[in-house]
Structure 1
Amino acid sequence: MATAFLRTVILYFFITAGLRLMGKRQIGELEPSELVLTMMLSDLAAVPMQDFGIPLLSGIIPILTLLSLSMLLSQSSLYSLRIRRLLCGSPTVLIDHGKLRQDAMRKNRFTIDELLEELRGQGICDIKDVKYAILENSGQLSVLPWPQTQPPSSDDLGVKAADSISLPVVLVNDGRLISRNLELCEKTMDWLKKQVRRQGLKDYRDIFLLTLDGGGNINCIPKENSK
Structure 2
Amino acid sequence: MILLLIISEATQQALLGNDFSVTGAMLTIITLVTADILFGLMKKYISGAEAVMDGTPVILVENGIPLMDKLQKVDVSCDDILVAARQSQGITELGKIKYAILERSGHISIIPAEG
Verify: 1:91 aligned to 2:57, yes or no: yes
Match of 2:91 in 1: 124
What CA deviation, in whole Å up to 9, does each residue of 1:113-165 have, x standing for no partner? 222221111122111111111101110111111232xxxxxxxxxxxxxxxxx
Query: What's the % identity of the aligned pairs?
Result: 25
Is the partner of 1:85 in helix, strand or coil? helix
Would the alpha carbon gap of residues 39 and 93 (structure 1) be closer, same or farther in structure 2, given more than 3 Å must change? farther
Alignment RMSD: 2.2
Match of 1:3 in 2: none
Contact 2:84 2:109 in 1 (8 A): no
Counterpart of 1:62, as a letter, is: T
Partner residue of 1:100 out of 66, 86, 89: 66
Verify: 1:60 aligned to 2:26, yes or no: yes
**C-alpha separation in 2, matches of 1:125 and 1:45:** 49
Counterpart of 1:143, as a letter, is: I
TM norm structure 1 = 0.45
Match of 1:140 in 2: 107
Deviation at 1:52, TM superposition (A): 5.9
Would the alpha carbon gap of residues 73 and 145 (structure 1) be closer, same or farther in structure 2, given more than 3 Å must change? same
Deviation at 1:43, TM superposition (A): 4.5
Match of 1:213 in 2: none
| Higher RCO (CA-CA < 8 Å; seq separation 6+) | 2
Q: Structure 1 regions of 5+ residues with no counterpart?
A: 1-18, 20-34, 149-227
**C-alpha separation in 1, matches of 2:86 and 2:8:** 35
Match of 1:158 in 2: none
Q: Structure 2 regions of 5+ residues with no counterpart?
A: none
Is the partner of 2:41 in helix, strand or coil? helix
In the alignment of these two chains, the number of paired residues is 114
From the CA coordinates, give the structure whose radius of gyration is larger: 1
Deviation at 1:91, TM superposition (A): 0.8
Partner residue of 1:115 out of 69, 81, 84: 81
**C-alpha separation in 1, matches of 2:95 and 2:75:** 22
Is the partner of 2:29 in helix, strand or coil? helix
Return the structure number with greater helix share.
2
Is the partner of 2:19 in helix, strand or coil? coil
TM norm structure 2 = 0.82
Matches within 5 A, 1:66-81: 66-81=32-47
